[in-house]
Amino acid sequence: MDSKWKKSPTPCYCPVNNPLNLGMLLSNVGAYVYFMMDGAYMSALTMLSGTTTLSSVMAVTLTMTIGGKWGSK
């Protein structure tokens, strides 16, 4: 079966990938610390949605660096 999109095994090298991932990691740690210090419901919900978004983007960028980039055939 011929598909329009195939998974490319070549890694995607981005020059700002490491600082970007480090920034997202530090932001996740900062959100965790703020969540543990402040027990308010809305701040907890904000930190949860923020860390979910950051972790999702970080997962995509880390997968792209090891060769999980999606590309056309």
**pTM over cut 0.85:** no
pLDDT digits (tens, 9 = 90+) for 7-63: 666 777 777 878 888 998 899 999 888 888 887 888 888 888 999 999 998 888 888
Residues sharing a CB contact under 8 Å with residue 7, sequence separation 6 or more, in sequence order: 68, 69, 70, 71
In a domain, 38, yes or no: yes
Cα 62 to Cα 25: distance, rounded to the nearest angstrom: 12
Report how many domains make up the chain: 1
Q: What is the pLDDT confidence band of residue 2, given thresholds at 50, 70 and 90? A: low
Establish if 3 belongs to a structural domain: no
- Domain extent for 60: 28-67
